[in-house]
Amino acid sequence: MARSRRQWRLAAVLPRRCGASAGDQGRRTSASPSGACAAPRRRLHFQASSRSTTPSLWIKKQSMALALPNHPDRHGHSVPVPPVAPVAPSPNFWWWLSDETRSRPDEAQLPKVPRSHLLEVARVPLRLEKVLAFGFLLCFDILLHELSFMPLQVLCALLRQVFRTNRASRRAAPAVTITEKCDLIRLSLLLANVALQSMFFSNSWVYHYIRGESFLKLYVFFNMLELAERSLRSVGVDLFDLLAARATGASGGAGAVELLPQYLLVLSYCFIHSSMHMLRVLLLTVAINTSSSAVFLIIVTNNFAEIKSTVFKRYEVKSLFPIITSDMVERFYLALDILFVLLRLATSDRRGLASAVQITSWLLLLVGIELGTDWVKFCLIMKFSELPVSVLENYQQVLIADLLVCRMPHTARDARPPSLPCMPFRGVQSFSHVVARRIGFSGLPLSTLVLSHLLHANLACQGPGVLLYLLLALILTLAKVLLSVLLLGLAARRRNSIARGLELFGKIKAL
């Protein structure tokens, strides 16, 4: 049957909608009177309809057939038809307003919401206080060693050398050990520094000078003093290591003439450092004794300047440890400063200038500002650097490893596992001073201030000096024994959980 022009035009358009080309459909229609529409997995037959069937009705029937969920292919198998995505409504103002209001809720995205780092930051103050308290105890242990065990060890070494009367006893008696040599040098430096401090540093003149200066001059002076003391604290540890290495022959033997310049250099450092710290004590004494808000404002603004200088930087695990150790030492300095101020106020002739309530309020406010400054500073550091709170626990593990490794028996040195780190000056200096190298704490200048204030208190009270010092030495020795037992007990209980601390053992140290 001959086709009309409209049927030929429809035969050319339908294959394009069904996925076939017009040329293929033309070849199929020329070979057969019924054309084939190559739809996906279904063949449509074009029939030369009679006059009663219109092409538009035929197209509607074929579209309904294509919309069936399952339809057989040419082999008779049922093939599912994929669902058709819903067509978005035509964009208009009301559709946009509804979309902006609802914000397209999707509960499937809930597992992908990241965990807020503020939850880690909220745990910083508690973890920080644990680490700083442990460092505070280490600094106290170092100071007690300077005032108790070091004089005892030197005294025992000198007595052993004195009682070597004949040649046979000289051969049998042991010589001075390496640690005794180091303690002998440190004790001589301590006594010489106390003498220099009492002769060349006038406490009364400096006190009245601070009271008479303006606020701006004192502010600049206090900031310069803070920076200089931190720098000297870092250099002092290296100077003591250098002197100990030369005196014990670790870096080449040196005679008394060659050792004298280094000894005088370390003595000069001790005098400068102890004098600078005495200035801090006198400044705090002026602030409390005179109730001067201007002098106390210097201390407060210095804490906020510390936050500004350390917070807005990005830190890593290695670069954050010097800040932690610096705060450990600063906490111990603050405790000793308060003790020195109370001792000076107790032995002062003009005790009625400030009542006990005012002094207590000033000191509590000072301690509160120090705690708040450290909390804010480290919370912001952890937030900006995105560091986990476990970093603080790792730092404590490193300090625990220091306590354990320096006390490891010498017989096990060659048989120790390869994972056990090597510690410099182990077996050369005392146990307390080996740990002091890690946190950057120099105990000799503070020991000088302790002895200087004890001498000042004894002269002011006019008490029995010898008996008082013997009783005080006994108390300090017992305190050292008790504190060492507590620290070693804590380290022994946690010796199996310091794996991360051993990994960081040789990578972090104080400045």
Task: Label each residue of 196-232 as H, E or C.
Answer: HHHHHCCHHHHHHHHHHCCHHHHHHHHHHHHHHHHHH
Helix 124-144 with 390-405: angle, nearest 10 deg: 20
Residue 27 has pLDDT above 50, yes or no: no
Q: Give the residue-averaged pLDDT of 362-388.
A: 88
Single out the residue of 194, 191, 195, 143 nearest to residue 443, CA to CA. Answer: 143
* Burial track 423-452 (b if 16+ CB lie within 10 A, e otherwise): bebbebbbbbbbbbbbbbbbbbbbbbbbbb
Closest CA to 138 of 298, 301, 329, 323: 329
For residue 15, the model assigns a pLDDT of 47
pLDDT given for residue 329 in this prediction: 92
* More confident: 56 or 226: 226
Q: What is the pLDDT of residue 294?
A: 67
Of the ranges 108-122, 227-241, 423-437, which is most confident? 227-241
Mean pLDDT of 310-335: 89
Flag whether pLDDT at 233 surpasses 60: yes
For position 28, what pLDDT does the model report?
45
Lowest mean pLDDT among 73-87, 147-161, 245-259, 485-499: 73-87
If you average pLDDT over every residue of the chain, what do you get?
A: 76
Mean pLDDT of 137-162: 89
| pLDDT over 80 (residue 431) | yes
CA distance linking residue 265 with residue 86, whole number of Å: 86
- Identify the band that residue 465 occupies on the pLDDT scale cut at 50, 70 and 90: low
Q: Please say if the pLDDT value at position 36 is more than 60.
A: no
> What's the pLDDT band for 87 if we cut at 50, 70, 90?
low
pLDDT reported for residue 76: 61
CB 272 within 8 A of CB 445: no
Q: Is the pLDDT of residue 418 over 70?
A: no
Tell which wins on pLDDT, 425 or 352.
425
- As a whole number, mean pLDDT of residues 299-316 equals 81
Residue 190 clears pLDDT 60, i.e. is over it: yes
Distances in Å between the alpha carbon of 113 and those of 100, 109, 116, 119?
A: 21, 7, 9, 14
The per-residue pLDDT for 427 is: 74
Q: With 60 as the cut, is the pLDDT of residue 105 above it?
A: yes
Question: In the prediction, which pLDDT does 413 show?
Answer: 46
> What is residue 264's predicted lDDT score, i.e. its pLDDT?
92
Question: Higher-confidence residue: 321 or 120?
Answer: 321
The mean pLDDT value for 175-200 works out to 89
* Residue 291 or residue 213, greater confidence: 213
Amino acid letter at 92? N
pLDDT score of 420 more than 80: no
What value does the mean pLDDT take over residues 87-114? 79
| Secondary structure class of 285 (helix, strand, coil) | helix
Question: To which H or E segment does residue 397 belong?
Answer: helix 390-405
3-state secondary structure of 70: strand
Out of 34-38, 246-250, 394-398, 450-454, pick the least confident. 34-38
**pLDDT at position 103, please?**
83
What is the predicted pLDDT for the residue at 137?
Answer: 93
List the domain boundaries for the chain. Answer: 5-80, 123-503
Using a cut of 0.85, tell me whether the model's pTM lies above it.
no
